[in-house]
Amino acid sequence: MNQRSAVREPHRSPKAQRRGAARLAAVQALYQIELTGASPDRVLREFVAHRIGGQTRIGAEEAASDEAAADEAIGETDSELFAAIVRGASERRAELDEMVGSSLAEGWSLDRMDRVLRALLRAGAFELCARPETPARVAIAEYIGVANAFYEGREPGFVNGVLDRLARVLRPEEMAGAGPLDQPPKSN
């Protein structure tokens, strides 16, 4: 599954698709920040200039002829959500890493994971701790979807387990009585 098809789901409302694209872009931006050491603002500017809404910026004909550019373009996103996740997760990285680390099974650490998985868990943890307007189960389901855009193996289940455990600590009232995340709720 490529990353563009992961956010274009016809059964989701346009608003939900833009929010899903924002989460996918935020994970990519957080990965880039960790990999390059660039500032969040620099990476945000680059994404807005070159990746977000890429087809409208480079034209449909060019995008169709340049498959690499088309795969890099993310499409229409909720730019406020995108920026909030990137800035918030970057500013609170140490706190988020501690939260995620405490939700890992014994013997696991963030250092043991690849950068994409770390970025994904940081973004999900940020939404769970700093964006109460997004229901916890929606956030978990959304990041499972993002994980499916990057991985075909066990990682989406791993993301589910870690974020579910974290949500039960951060939002106990909301998660009271919640069983395992069998069916994703309607996306936010």
pLDDT of amino acid 117: 97
Q: Within 51-171, where are the H helices?
A: 54-58, 60-65, 67-72, 79-91, 93-102, 115-130, 136-150, 155-170
The answer to whether residue 10 scores a pLDDT higher than 80 is no
Q: What is the pLDDT of residues 61-100, one digit of tens each?
A: 333 434 443 344 566 889 999 999 999 999 999 999 999 9
The answer to whether residue 157 scores a pLDDT higher than 50 is yes
DSSP-assigned beta bridge partners for residue 75:
52
The pLDDT-based confidence of 12 (bands split at 50, 70, 90) is confident
Fold of domain 3-168: N-utilizing Substance Protein B Homolog; Chain A (1.10.940)
List of long-range contacts for 38-45, beta carbons under 8 Å, 24+ apart: 40/86, 40/87, 40/90, 40/91, 41/87, 43/86, 44/82, 44/83, 44/86, 44/87
pLDDT of amino acid 83: 96
- Give the start-to-end residue ranges of the domains of the chain: 3-168
Contact indicator for 138, 187 with CB cutoff of 8 Å: yes
The answer to whether residue 146 scores a pLDDT higher than 80 is yes
pLDDT of amino acid 59: 34
Cα torsion 16, 20, 23, 25: sign:
negative
Distance CA 130, CA 153 (A): 29
The answer to whether residue 106 scores a pLDDT higher than 80 is yes
